[in-house]
């Protein structure tokens, strides 16, 4: 929800106080006494946490984390792309020092302060419950990015805080969220934060309970499909069984009206460019830049990713939300204009070693030389008061569809019906999209349930499904065998702008195959050192590894699910426990010159795995 003027000064003042007392440079400072501000009532510090979280995951504010959502995670999620810098080469750690410090220090510390100081006071039961809900939400983000990390000893004043295993953190999150929403007394008129001091849901206790249900569902779904057949980790069977039971429990709650039931219930926060802490970075770096400034910054500005455009552009599936997500390119000004005005940028312009281009193929990027030549982010997301979504109704529908298809849950509808509900919710979230347009889309071959993409239909141009190399496609769907992929694709598209959430979904499912980056020669953590898939996790901040060496090494060598050879290096190729194995790079279209010369597919095997 939108930041209110009444509490801007309060939050700014307390933020300054916490910054001085806390935290953004090192873990020694982050892990100082969480009870230092002992005189502060919860309402004076709670609002800091949602604001800090928005700054960190939404890229808001004016600190070092502001670029993460578009420069790093936009790329990892295959939603947005940038040219230049470390991120496109998949070697950047996502400014992990800033991410880690901001989430632990500014997001978690106020919550620990409230929980530690007021849990025993029955007059603060609701306010403590809300702090626990947001604490679990922040930890769900952290564990999804890094894996093992301090949980039970977080913010305890010790620089050598113990690291917890992923599975223990997830079980703790699931338990705490249930405890919190069951503790909320929605009828209380005294035990709540003042509306002016609660920047997320303005102290609507019923909505907070719904949010807790939704995050608990998402978190359980993340680990419900973990590898129960892993030969060395039989404990995953128990973890998956627990998670599946939680998924079924929460989806039953949804059917009983305890979760959101329409787009009107979507959870979001709103950027506010009158507040330094909640500014929309896209407003300043895209909307407010002059053409000359954009040309000078071409290597750092976000455009649409080729992977996403292959699914939504007019020449493939003509997504109903295309005009909201995307501003088309201008065709260029060179003598030979860019043919595709819906041109998304790939991870890199490089090609595989000894790759033989398809005869007659001309890269669509041959004449791209300016920012407006690409398809760029739509104006809905560039507004000074744009929304950043935390959970939306479409996501709930697609989780229902996936859980039903996999047999995790038996709902009142079929997986197909929940799938179509999700498409409706995703598209109709925007007022400019009509139901008639959505219905046409749902009947499009490939999008329609169990129906393969029709490449022989009159008007279909097969080359529009090919990527910049002219020999690959990942946006062609088969029949019934691809229904899970259909669900995941639509779920992924629904997370447009929620780039960390989209990155987690891609790793969790591995249902959508993407090309790696072929310009990854500087990356010694990947197979062959010449190409790389999107990172499986973020590495721990360098300062944290230096200060808390024993615990970080224990986490790397013993706790990381994928490090079966006990590698001491903190690699971004280590899968986390929820991640499916990467099936490898798909080969080019059969019988093309590219297919005959291409030496792959190869699995995404890290050096550390047996």
Instruction: Identify whether 493 is part of a domain.
Output: yes
User: CA 95, CA 480: separation in Å to the nearest integer?
Assistant: 41
Same domain, 193 and 338: no
DSSP state at residue 413: S
CA 82 remoteness from chain centre: 17
On the 0-12 / 13-18 / 19+ scale of CB atoms within 10 A, 207 is middle
Report residue 473 as tokens.
Answer: 């496609």
What's the average model confidence in pLDDT over 412-439?
97
| E strand or H helix at 599 | none
Instruction: Identify whether 350 is part of a domain.
Output: yes
Q: In this predicted structure, what is the pLDDT of residue 513?
A: 86
Same domain, 306 and 266: no
User: CA 380, CA 382: separation in Å to the nearest integer?
Assistant: 6
Same domain, 317 and 265: no
Q: In this predicted structure, what is the pLDDT of residue 38?
A: 47
Helices (H), 88-147: 96-101, 109-118, 125-146
Share of the chain above pLDDT 90, in %: 55
Which domain-ending residue is among 512, 529, 564? Answer: 512
Report how far apart, in Å, the C-alpha atoms of 472 and of each of 256, 403, 437, 462, 530 are: 45, 30, 29, 11, 19
What's the average model confidence in pLDDT over 479-492?
98
Statement: residue 604 has pLDDT above 50: yes
- The Cβ of residue 434 has, within 10 Å, a number of other Cβ atoms equal to 12
85-99, 435-449, 588-602 — which one is most confidently predicted on average? Answer: 435-449
Which domain-ending residue is among 216, 248, 270? Answer: 270
Model pTM?
0.92
Domain limits for position 16: 5-270
Same domain, 307 and 220: no
Same domain, 78 and 212: yes
User: CA 110, CA 104: separation in Å to the nearest integer?
Assistant: 10
Report how far apart, in Å, the C-alpha atoms of 80 and of each of 92, 416, 459, 500, 515 are: 16, 29, 28, 12, 15
Same domain, 255 and 330: no
Q: In this predicted structure, what is the pLDDT of residue 336?
A: 62
CA-closest candidate to residue 490, choices 439, 431, 448, 430: 448
Report residue 418 as tokens.
Answer: 């929940």
Statement: residue 528 has pLDDT above 80: no
Which domain-ending residue is among 485, 512, 539? Answer: 512
Same domain, 249 and 321: no
User: CA 29, CA 22: separation in Å to the nearest integer?
Assistant: 6
CA-closest candidate to residue 465, choices 457, 67, 235, 395: 457
Statement: residue 26 has pLDDT above 60: no
Same domain, 166 and 27: yes
Instruction: Identify whether 568 is part of a domain.
Output: no
On the 0-12 / 13-18 / 19+ scale of CB atoms within 10 A, 461 is exposed
**DSSP state string for 421-487:** HHHHHHHHTSTT--HHHHHHHHTSTTTSTT----SSSTT--GGGGS-TTSS--S----SGGGHHHHH
pLDDT in tens, 200-240: 999 999 999 999 999 999 999 999 999 877 777 888 999 99
CA-closest candidate to residue 492, choices 415, 578, 399, 575: 399
Instruction: Identify whether 603 is part of a domain.
Output: no
Q: To which residue do tokens 């997370």 refer?
A: 495
Omega cis (within 30) before 5? no
- Band (36; pLDDT cuts 50, 70, 90): very low
Same domain, 203 and 158: yes
Report residue 583 as tokens.
Answer: 């099936």
- Band (521; pLDDT cuts 50, 70, 90): low
Lowest mean pLDDT among 266-275, 326-335, 373-382: 326-335
- Band (534; pLDDT cuts 50, 70, 90): confident
- Band (369; pLDDT cuts 50, 70, 90): confident
Share of the chain above pLDDT 70, in %: 85
Instruction: Identify whether 138 is part of a domain.
Output: yes
* Helix, strand, coil % in the chain, rounded to nearest 5: 45, 5, 50
Same domain, 406 and 477: yes
Instruction: Identify whether 587 is part of a domain.
Output: no
Q: How many structural domains is the chain composed of? A: 2
Instruction: Identify whether 47 is part of a domain.
Output: yes
Report how far apart, in Å, the C-alpha atoms of 539 and of each of 95, 322, 536, 570 are: 10, 35, 10, 6
Statement: residue 10 has pLDDT above 80: no
Which CATH number does the domain housing residue 417 bear?
1.25.40.390
Same domain, 343 and 468: yes
Q: In this predicted structure, what is the pLDDT of residue 573?
A: 83
Mean pLDDT, rounded, of the chain: 85
């Amino acid at each position: 929800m939108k930041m209110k003027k009444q509490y801007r000064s309060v939050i700014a003042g307390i933020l300054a106080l916490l910054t001085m007392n806390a935290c953004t440079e090192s873990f020694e400072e982050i892990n100082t006494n969480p009870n230092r501000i002992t005189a502060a009532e919860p309402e004076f510090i709670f609002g800091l946490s949602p604001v800090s979280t928005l700054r960190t995951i939404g890229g808001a504010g004016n600190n070092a984390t502001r670029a993460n959502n578009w420069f790093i995670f936009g790329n990892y999620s295959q939603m947005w792309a940038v040219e230049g810098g470390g991120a496109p080469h998949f070697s950047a750690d996502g400014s992990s020092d800033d991410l880690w410090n901001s989430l632990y220090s500014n997001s978690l510390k106020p919550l620990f302060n409230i929980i530690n100081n007021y849990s025993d006071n029955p007059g603060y039961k609701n306010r403590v419950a809300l702090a626990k809900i947001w604490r679990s939400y922040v930890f769900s983000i952290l564990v999804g990015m890094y894996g093992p990390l301090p949980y039970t000893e977080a913010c305890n004043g010790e620089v050598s805080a113990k690291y917890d295993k992923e599975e223990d953190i997830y079980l703790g999150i699931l338990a705490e969220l249930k405890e919190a929403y069951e503790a909320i007394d929605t009828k209380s008129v005294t035990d709540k934060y003042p509306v002016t001091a609660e920047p997320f849901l303005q102290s609507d206790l019923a909505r907070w309970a719904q949010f807790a249900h939704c995050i608990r569902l998402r978190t359980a779904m993340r680990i419900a499909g973990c590898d129960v057949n892993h030969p060395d980790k039989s404990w995953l069977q128990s973890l998956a069984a627990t998670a599946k039971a939680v998924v079924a429990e929460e989806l039953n709650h949804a059917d009983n009206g305890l979760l959101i039931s329409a787009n009107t219930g979507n959870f979001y926060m709103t950027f506010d460019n009158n507040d330094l802490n909640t500014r929309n970075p896209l407003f300043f770096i895209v909307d407010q830049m002059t053409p000359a400034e954009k040309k000078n910054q071409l290597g750092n500005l976000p455009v649409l990713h080729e992977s996403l455009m292959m699914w939504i552009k007019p020449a493939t599936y003509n997504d109903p939300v295309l005009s909201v997500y995307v501003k088309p390119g201008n065709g260029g000004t060179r003598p030979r204009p860019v043919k595709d005005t819906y041109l998304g940028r790939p991870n890199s312009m490089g090609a595989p070693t000894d790759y033989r281009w398809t005869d007659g193929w001309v890269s669509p990027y041959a004449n791209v030389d300016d920012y407006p030549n690409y398809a760029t982010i739509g104006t809905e997301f560039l507004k000074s008061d744009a929304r950043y979504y935390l959970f939306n109704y479409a996501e709930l529908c697609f989780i229902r569809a996936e859980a039903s298809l996999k047999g995790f849950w038996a709902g009142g509808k079929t997986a197909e019906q929940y799938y179509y509900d999700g498409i409706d919710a995703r598209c109709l979230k925007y007022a400019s999209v009509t139901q008639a347009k959505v219905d046409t889309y749902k009947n499009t071959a490939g999008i329609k349930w169990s129906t393969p993409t029709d490449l022989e239909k009159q008007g279909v141009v097969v080359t529009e499904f090919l990527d910049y190399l002219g020999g690959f496609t990942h946006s062609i769907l088969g029949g019934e065998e691809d229904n899970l992929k259909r669900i995941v694709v639509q779920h992924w598209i629904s997370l447009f702008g929620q780039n960390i959430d989209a990155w987690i979904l891609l790793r969790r499912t591995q249902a959508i195959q993407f090309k790696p980056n072929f310009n990854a020669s500087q990356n010694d953590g990947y197979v062959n050192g010449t190409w790389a898939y999107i990172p499986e996790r973020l590495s721990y901040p360098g300062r944290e590894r230096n200060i808390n060496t024993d615990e970080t090494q224990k986490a790397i060598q013993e706790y990381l699910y994928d490090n079966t050879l006990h590698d001491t290096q903190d690699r971004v190729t280590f899968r986390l426990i929820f991640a499916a194995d990467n099936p490898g790079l798909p080969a080019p279209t059969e019988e093309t010159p590219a297919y005959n010369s291409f030496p792959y597919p190869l699995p995404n095997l890290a050096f550390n795995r047996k």
